[in-house]
Amino acid sequence: MARRPLALLFDLDGTLVDSIELILTSFRHTFATHLGAVPPDSRWIAGLGTPLFTQLREFTQDDVLARAMTVTYREFQMQHHDRLMRAYDGVREAMHALRAGQHPTALVTSKMTDLAERALTFTGLRDTIDVVIGMESTERHKPHPEPVHTALRALGYPPGEAVFLGDSPHDIQAGNAAGVISVAAEWGPFSTADLDAAHPAFRVKRMADFPALVARLGAP
């Protein structure tokens, strides 16, 4: 009996879309506006893959201030979204090839669902994703496995028949904890050392290599 196509889960920022400059510009603007000083970009990058409010609480113990900063960040990001957002090279082609292979797909992101939908639509990727699991879709967030399990339930797949591609250690940790095959995307902002420390099952250097890996993993 032939195996059904593997379920494919994807992170968004740093994996499917190159939004890193948008994210960092929003971060710098927010901290300059509210605190008058901007920490090094590396401190913000370390938290990528986790919810925005969670990241901000790493810098302030004041919930009121963190909520105000969240509003500023999101307003700035919405204003500059289309100018600083694009799909990574080879992503559209790879995603359409995977769709041709009848793989069910889910986006697993810590971004708010409406912003994730906007990014997918703007970059021409919306029709390649079946299910969007955004920040408000779960109570717990990456690196916790709940978002991955939620996506699998929506697709009707067990962990053993799924692959999760992400660019951050938080993605890999969530995938590993959920029991799926975790694949590290090397084109995001994290170093290979950071990715390897999270113990992905595989690494891919470019999105164009991912469909071939999926084909190998799904072979009888």
pLDDT in tens, 172-193: 999 999 999 999 999 999 999 9
Does residue 1 carry a pLDDT above 90? no
Q: How confident is the model at residue 60 (pLDDT cuts 50, 70, 90)?
A: very high
Q: How confident is the model at residue 2 (pLDDT cuts 50, 70, 90)?
A: low
Under a CB-based contact definition with an 8 Å cutoff, are residues 50 and 141 in contact? yes
What domains can be seen in the chain, in order of their start residue? 7-18+86-218 (3.40.50.1000), 20-80 (1.10.150)
- The set of catalytic residues is 11
pLDDT in tens, 62-95: 999 999 999 999 999 999 999 999 999 999 999 9
